[in-house]
Chain A
Amino acid sequence: MSTPTPPEPFGWEPGISMSTLSEPQPERLPEPLLDVRDLRIVYDSPRGPVEACSGVNLTVRPGEFVGIVGESGCGKSTLLFGIAQLHSAPARIAGGEVLFRGKDLVTLPTKELNDLRWRNLAVVMQSAMNALNPVRTIASQFEDAILAHEKWSDERIRERSAEVLRLVSIDPVHLDSYPHQLSGGMRQRAMIAMALLFTPDLIVMDEPTSALDVVAQRSLMVQIKELQQQLGFAVVFVTHDMSLVSHFSDRLLVMYAGQVVEFGPTREVFDTPSHPYSKSLLDAFPSIRGPKVPLIGIPGDPPNLANPPAGCRFHPRCPVAQTPCTSEAPELYTLASSPDVESRCLAHRPTDPIDISLVNDAKEVQTS
């Protein structure tokens, strides 16, 4: 049961090991599908520009599942909108590039951008309740999406719509239903089906499970993962729920105050978080198994991005902050111990790292 199985048609049998599904891809380095370079997104507020994303770097390989994790105000949703070029005033891209299959989406003319949309790059929004038009049937909304990009016959549209619904295990009879006749989980899956209409290379998802109950959440995540294995698309998944995404993502990106603070293979980030924020965040989840330990969470509040703290943005809340942290802003350093992981902490600075010994009940973090 632990050997990787080839992609199965839907209707897979029970007992598939979760660890299989999130095993990192075998070592191959194809051209990144998505390459975000130094992206800066700024909101023009009445009190001056506020940088919601400060120099974000992110790569996604074909077929990879990348999770973006952060709390409210960290800029993850802004980042997502920026990647998909869905941002609108007062947000604007102030710098950087978003290279999708080699083309920079930021500077791409609208016509080419629209060509790319849905065919190669699809978006699943949070809260499908609001994304689906309540006065139109599912079929007509799928039709809209298709007709915006292709001139298919009615029959072909219907056939494809039914096909994608089956992919997400919704009975195609619901094509003629209205959104309010479907349950929350089904609506969300219908949104995912809509994103699959043209089998895109990359699907970008903004907290698609936050409106669902825990059982439906798990079910949806498994479904997404299966579809991914079956159809081979890459996923960028934004969420505040680190524990949820941990079981399904290949690589994990942790954001704080508009910056990437840690990025690397999921297993490594989880087992040995190299940034104090990631570590504290992981520790903030009470466990249902194992001994009951008192937890402290992360005291304080996220910083006001209009006026971020000097030096490291996390230092006011960091349990192991030291004097250099208050004045020197760390860059994203590659860890000496694991070259796949990057961390924005002075403890991992190649020259003259500061010494933080994070001692915890459960484990110790390796410092470089």
Chain B
Amino acid sequence: MKFASMLKNRKALIGLILFGITVLVALFPGIFTSNHAPDVIGAYSPNLGLSTSHLLGTTSYGQDIYSQLIYGARQVLIIALAAGGFATVLSVLIGITAAYMGGIVDEVLSLCTNVVLILPTFPLMIILARYAGTSNWVMIIVLVATGWSYGANQMRAQALSLRNRDFLEAARVRGERRAYIILFEMMPTMTSLIVANFLGSALYSVLAASGLQFIGLGNTASDSWGTMLYWANSQEALQAGNAMWIVAPGLAIAVLSAAFALMNYAFDEIGNPALRPVRRKDLRKARKGADDAVEKDAVMGAEHVYTDAS
């Protein structure tokens, strides 16, 4: 139901297409380029301009930029999806548990969430990456560790607002177990938010990973776009007249991020209206007993007697 609506939404459609292209490139790089070993140094003459045999030119190491870009997609996508995915799982678990359990559990989890939230993430990432090493998995762990807290707050807020909704109370009164209620009654109503969260985390991961790689904290031997930027920068590509070495990976990162962002828009728009019928306004919700302060107005006078109208 929701995916069909996605297709109707133009922003989502564009995002989906861009994302789809990236996925294809990542899965089947061989189709897109004949050069299957783009990192080999000196395969071609360095700093060549754009031509039919080198669509985006070559680096100052004599590597074909275009095939590097193609092969780099896989790395970037893996990091984005893995980091985004794990971060989302973590934020969902922590956020919903905090909201549903309440009390001390909520206090402790919220404390952790908020502490991690206010830590300056980029410096933290730099420090962690510096000590933990430079493999891709380390990067994923670092991104997850610094990126889950924002989503956790969102999940908690959403779950809190749902917590007192009658259908959850109905489930409780029905005698359902707590775990069942959380997994099967509460979470399905939050799918839009969870997917939106995932897309947001993936977006964040793309940018953060590329950033880390750019400053040299990633695996500098890898294919990824961020690494390309690193090398291009260290070789002063712009001064060497090889702008494409920087522009190409930069643009690719931007396009993938945009894809996630566009898809995210769609989920924001689709998310709630399907859950809330527009049929009538919440007229009588206000009647549901307001907890008002005590306020006694002047009584009209004690000599009145209430009479029945008959």
Contacts and interface: CB of A to CB of B under 8 A. Distances in A.
Contact flag (A, B; Cβ within 8 A): yes
Interface of A: 14, 72-73, 77, 126-127, 129-130, 169-171, 180-184, 186, 207, 210-212, 240, 289
Interface stretch (B153-161, B167-175, B195-203, B277-285): B277-285
21 contacts: A14-B300, A72-B279, A72-B283, A73-B280, A77-B281, A126-B283, A126-B286, A127-B283, A127-B286, A129-B286, A171-B297, A181-B293, A181-B295, A182-B292, A183-B293, A183-B295, A186-B297, A211-B284, A211-B287, A212-B287, A289-B310
B301 interface: yes
Contacts of B279: 72-73
A122 to B, nearest CB: 21
B292 A183 contact: yes
Given A289-B309, A289-B310, A210 B304 contact: no
B298 interface: yes
Contacts of A171: 297-298
Contacts of A170: 297
Contacts, number: 50
Contacts of A129: 286, 290
A308 B310 CA distance: 43
B292 A14 contact: no
Range of interface residues on B (Cβ < 8 Å): 20 to 34
Given A210-B286, A211-B287, A182 B280 contact: no
A188 to B, nearest CB: 10
A73 B286 CA distance: 18
B287 A210 contact: yes
The 5 closest A-B pairs by CB, nearest first: A211-B286, A183-B292, A127-B286, A72-B280, A183-B295
A62 B181 CA distance: 58
Given A180-B293, A210-B283, A211-B284, 20 more contacts: A14-B300, A72-B279, A72-B283, A73-B280, A77-B281, A127-B283, A129-B290, A169-B297, A170-B297, A171-B297, A171-B298, A180-B292, A183-B292, A183-B293, A183-B294, A184-B290, A210-B284, A210-B286, A212-B287, A240-B283
B269 to A, nearest CB: 12
B148 to A, nearest CB: 32
A181 B295 CA distance: 8
Nearest to A186: B295
